Structure 1
């Protein structure tokens, strides 16, 4: 049920005989605009706060050894990788496959896994099919147990990659890098850490992820609450009981508030609703929730797989969701069935042969049809009309990352679960010693769980929390003062032997790990080529860098108008879409082909200058 002050909104989208669609596009456009305006906040990203100062405990590691200590390191490695998530693991694995043995990963967590190390909340699953999301399955010799893997299975697979490629040999866990400085005389990087290390590395690869910094809402009074609080990325099972499969038995006598109904909230709500005495779900904007269709892996299917099966499946999915022709849909899920709508986030070839005006019209109509189906599902599943109305998403399909669940909507039929719609108050108004206030109504609770997400894309490099100084002491952020400047998104002029795996000036994908693997393979082959040729430095020329920046600008998809009409969220910078895209406008399939062609046809000569030759050290 909804909170008492929420009433169902009467709105007919039935156009009768006026349109050929069975709905009124003008009425939908007006409804979308109205719902967007209800949620816009003038402070944009300023509505959130970092978990530091008195809230620093929100960022602490509950899984690592609090007594861990070691002596500072002052040694040398050939390649140092910052980050032990899938990006760092893939970089390490691909380097080992290319014959580079001296590899060290530095990771602030207590083990490998990245996002999947930190996030262990109840119900956690990947929303991309496990057979294409979990990397290096054939190399590790593993087939996932479920079509959509739970977090524990993903984390165990990350550790298995670490063992398979001997990446535990020289790793530094529970360690954060505090700065990088280029030593011109020695042609290597000085890497400083928060454990007093001063490590020298010929090459540095930065893979610190895009979902690394948890954020909290800047709600007035948040510091006054006398109950218990935690962020979903640091789930407190000591308080709730249970584990990632649920059974949160210690909540049986607890009133719980959950703030946030994005992808994490959709997974957490069914377990909180099942076990808490009372659950209040505070929602600003509903997610679009499609059918998940979870199932166990068929052992006969797994036994039938032939070598190369994962790469074929990954490529099939990527081609399909970016509008490229395929003979069959190997994955067949909620992502592939909506492929033609993905171009509003990732460049897509769908409808590419049509004139722009007709293409946009067809996109919009297909979008309306998809969202009507999602809203119809809400109405069919949720029994209370007011609650169902509040759970209906009124925005374009790719304004927010789609969610999938077979349990979320059903949870709102439980008598102990209340949906509190905060769209008219721009979120929770304030927090008191006893609870949360919305619309003048105070909801007294024992615990507040923040499912408020992350500073998306706010890596230490971009925020300056990982300062990088290249040749002549120039700071990377100063070099990027007018926007990122790279070749292919990996390296910048004036910063030799520094590689980045972030989704900047390259291309990303719905299956983010696939894009990471393509980047890791490219970087590993470039470094291996430098070793084979005896080259000290890998660095693009200023001309090559400028040419790539120009290519990014010329090919960038213009999504500003679309995102400006979206309800606020992290896709559109909380309603303030950025002026330009930093993604390769021809999409990931074309970008990956471009990298392969570049490597095969002399591109390496542009970054492996002969005057950067070494004395034969090969790592």
Structure 2
């Protein structure tokens, strides 16, 4: 088996992985490799190509601060344009030269003897290994499609497609189609399908709160100003950031402050749907913000169409001809579209990462809950940093801001390791526990705890483990510098032993 050694291995080529590669390069670290199972950059924006796929974060915020895009065509960008942007940035910084495509990481295991990560990879049936001093997990939470646990999927005689694995060669014109789910993907794909299918059944378990999508094309004058007027792009980015950040106060500290948002959502329903029965079906019973607030102008008009039925009876099973609901009725369809999101807190990727005691990341989190330190490091997994890890998700603004905050932490971590000749860095368990206790304490008055809904935001222990509480600039503040006092480290000692063999080390527990 071929083995390659690098200083840093990055798994994933989306916003996080690409950003890590660029920032490492800019700071003089070029001994790294990106491993990705796809064929180009983009991550979720490469993989999700369903009709209507778009971002619900304003375009001005959905780019790296160091590579802003003056050429966005609209105030909210669609998938093809975001995909082009990401690949354009990768080309600008020549990151493709450091990337191995169509490469699946089948396992990443920590080797205590060598203080390295060993990654088993597979490409075109050929297995190789990569050994790395540091591991950056940049797979992202929206990479593994989630199929609902419904009996009979394997008996269906028609076509089943997940929204994240869309087959653009299929023509749905004139067909009977069922969409399972009413989340972020569903509210985008349903209006597009409704235009061409013969009939569309939409299966809703929980109605979402939906605000109007204030999307429009940028004028020529605006594009010129973004490209030519010094400071204009940064100023507009700052204004949009500030407006979005204001929502964080209501989500985390005072849910009653979100009442105006609820009124906007109710107005959106009233303007779009005449049927009182349908209005009742689409009106949530929980507080706005408890689940993700969605943006759409065409969701409600789409489900009010004559060729669309919103079905709220629970699904009992899948039959060879369609979907059987709890009332015993079989709804015959030709195609089932599964729009039920992703494995976020239980990603199969977590089973592939093996730490110091032979336990997988999935096993550790199953026992103690999905937790880490500053969303980045996990006790038991030395020299590994996760991007978009626990308690970094957002419900109100751009994840790119959080990613860039973590990139600051990553770069300072690697700089510290180089400057102090550290061979092993592991966050202390007490530091991790204290950090997560603070996170949960900060959540105590939030809408996610008190809003009356159940969501994937919480783990099986009942803790909100996916979201950051409060303002994002606070996260930026705590990740500005690598705080070595929270870590146990091994430092290489002076020795004449060749670097290819085991070296003498000393354990250093750094305290503040």
Counterpart residue number, 2:217 = 296
Query: Which residue is 1:198 aligned to?
Result: 129
Report the Cα offset of residue 158 of structure 1. Answer: 1.7
Equivalenced residue count is 487
Distance 1:380 1:584, change over 3 A: closer
Secondary structure, in 3 states, of the residue corresponding to 2:407? Answer: helix
Determine the structure 1 residue equivalent to 2:63. Answer: 134
Distance 1:280 1:505 in 2: 35
Partner of 1:612: 492
Is it true that 1:496 corresponds to 2:363 in the alignment?
Answer: no
Partner of 2:509: none
Q: Conserved in 2, the CA contact under 8 Å of 1:507 and 1:588?
A: no
Task: Tell me if the contact between 2:15 and 2:43 (Cα under 8 Å) persists in the aligned partners.
Answer: yes
Pick aligned residue for 1:401 from 285, 289, 292: 292
Aligned to 1:215: 146
The 1:316/1:468 distance shift into structure 2, 3 A limit, reads farther
Match of 1:80 in 2: 9
Give the structure 2 partner of residue 444 of structure 1: 332
Change beyond 3 A, Cα 1:529–1:309: farther
Residue 591 of structure 1 aligns with which residue? 475
Corresponding residue number in structure 2 for 1:458? 346
> Are residues 506 and 402 of structure 1, via their aligned partners in 2, closer, same or farther at CA, if it must alter by over 3 Å?
closer
Q: Counterpart in 2 of 1:247?
A: none
In the other structure, the counterpart of 2:410 is 523
| Cα shift readout 1:321-351 (whole Å, capped 9, x = no counterpart) | 444xxxxxxxxxxxxxx554322xxxx5xxx
Q: Is the 8 A contact 1:180 1:190 kept in 2?
A: yes
After superposition, the Cα gap between the structure-2 partners of 1:585 and 1:222, relative to the gap in structure 1 and judged at 3 Å, is closer
Q: What residue number does 1:125 align with? A: 54
Query: Which structure dedicates a bigger proportion of its chain to strand?
Result: 2
Are 2:283 and 1:392 aligned? yes
**Higher relative contact order (CA closer than 8 Å, sequence separation 6+):** 1
Which of 104, 116, 123 does residue 188 from structure 1 map onto?
A: 116
Give the corresponding residue for 2:435. 551
Distance in 2 of aligned mates of 1:89 and 1:613: 34
Partner of 1:97: 26
Deviation of the 1:200 alpha carbon: 1.3
Aligned counterpart in structure 2 of residue 116 of structure 1, from 26, 40, 45? 45
Q: Secondary structure at the match of 2:200?
A: strand
Higher mean alpha-carbon deviation, 393-402 vs 577-586, is at 577-586
Q: CA RMSD in A?
A: 3.1
Preserved contact between residue 289 and residue 448 of structure 2 (Cα < 8 Å): no
Q: Cα gap change, 1:613/1:197 in structure 2, threshold over 3 Å: closer, same or farther?
A: farther
Alpha-carbon separation, structure 2, partners of 1:87 and 1:420: 38
- Cα offsets for 1:519-578 (capped at 9, x unmatched): 0222023213433x2614251463xx41342133135222689546533432356xx771
8 Å contact from structure 1 (residues 269, 411) kept in 2: yes
CA distance in 2, matches of 1:380, 1:393: 16
Cα gap change, 1:585/1:454 in structure 2, threshold over 3 Å: closer, same or farther?
closer
Q: TM-score, normalised by structure 1?
A: 0.71
Quick check: 604-613 or 368-377, which moved more? 604-613
With 124-133 and 182-191 compared, the bigger mean Cα shift is at: 182-191
Structure 2 stretches of 5 or more lacking a match? Answer: 500-512
Residues 508-519 of structure 1 mapped to structure 2, 5 A cutoff: 508=394, 510-519=397-406
Aligned counterparts, 1:61-460, within 5 A: 73-136=2-65, 138-139=66-67, 142-195=70-123, 196-240=127-171, 251-305=172-226, 317-323=240-246, 338-343=247-252, 363-364=255-256, 366-422=257-313, 427-438=314-325, 439-460=327-348
Whether contact under 8 Å (2:422, 2:490) holds in the other structure is: no
Structure 2 counterpart SS, 1:455: coil
| Gap change, CA 1:371 and 1:194, over 3 Å in 2 | same
The offset of 1:82, in angstroms, is: 0.7
Question: How far did 1:274 drift?
Answer: 0.4
User: 2: CA distance between counterparts of 1:429 and 1:568?
Assistant: 21
Cα displacement (A) at 1:205: 0.4
**1:89: how far off?**
0.9
The alignment partner of 2:491 has SS state of helix
SS of the residue 2:6 aligns to? strand
Query: Deviations 1:171-194 (Å, cap 9, x if unpaired)?
Result: 122222122233445432221123
Deviation at 1:580, TM superposition (A): 5.7
> 2-side partners of 1:216 and 1:614: how far apart?
54
The secondary structure found in structure 2 opposite 1:429 is: strand
TM-score (normalised: structure 2): 0.85
Distance apart, 1:403 and its partner CA: 1.2
Counterparts of 1:406 and 1:175, CA distance in 2: 39
Q: Aligned partners of 2:114 and 2:458: how far apart in 1?
A: 43
> What 5-or-longer segments of structure 1 have no aligned partner?
1-71, 241-250, 324-337, 349-358
For residue 518 of structure 1, give the secondary structure of its aligned residue in structure 2: helix
C-alpha contact (below 8 Å) 1:560/1:580 kept by paired residues: no
CA contact 2:374–2:435 (8 Å) conserved in 1: no
